Amino acid sequence: MAKIVRLEPIAQQTSVETNGNLLSVLLNKDLDVLRECGGRGMCATCHIYVTEGMDSLSPINRREQRTLEVITSCKMNSRLACQSRVLANGVVVELPPGMYINSLKDIEVLVGRRAEQNLLHPLTGQVLVEAGKLITRSMLMQLEKSTSFNVGDYFKQSSGV
């Protein structure tokens, strides 16, 4: 039997089959979700905030917990949409503000422009460029030196290896 999920701040309701994941809800609403890890719970691109109905979702598994630990914008009500299965009605989710990027090449094409919204790291959710900031070549070079897009690098850090 289908369950109702509400998406904020876009104020839309949609249905999902019982035990369906929240990622399918986001994709069915044509929301731009990268799915950098292919829905395996190893990146931040489907990170959401559950504002109501956390107990109507499947429990957090170990992989999701490890990923949430490296997401810089993680809160107590954070979940990964790909790992969150809807078990009952009453779920309300909010999308974090900003846009996830695939690689630094996504920022490179914007050099000389101002970011319209926060540009976010796909694995950690860290703000790489704040909304309104001018994107410069020196900013890009600094990001190249300090930013990794390798999933393995973040799991090594979070496990203390």
- Distance CA(160)–CA(19), nearest Å, equals 34
Mean pLDDT of 138-153: 75
Q: What is the pLDDT of residue 152?
A: 53
pLDDT tens-digit map of 123-133: 778 888 999 99
Q: Residue 9: pLDDT above 70? A: yes
Q: What is the pLDDT of residue 8?
A: 82
Mean pLDDT of 84-102: 88
Supply the Cα-derived Rg of the chain in whole angstroms.
Answer: 16
149 — pLDDT class (breaks 50, 70, 90): low
To which residue do tokens 């990146």 refer? 43
Computed over every residue of the chain, the mean pLDDT equals: 84
Q: What is the pLDDT of residue 161?
A: 43
SS (H, E, C) 38-63: CCCCCCCCCEEEEEECHHHECCCCHH
Contact yes or no for 122/36 (Cβ under 8 A):
yes
DSSP letters for 60-127: PPHHHHHHHHH-TT--TTEEEGGG-BB-SS-EEEEPPSSEE-SSHHHHHTTTTSB-SS-EE-TTT--E
25 — pLDDT class (breaks 50, 70, 90): confident
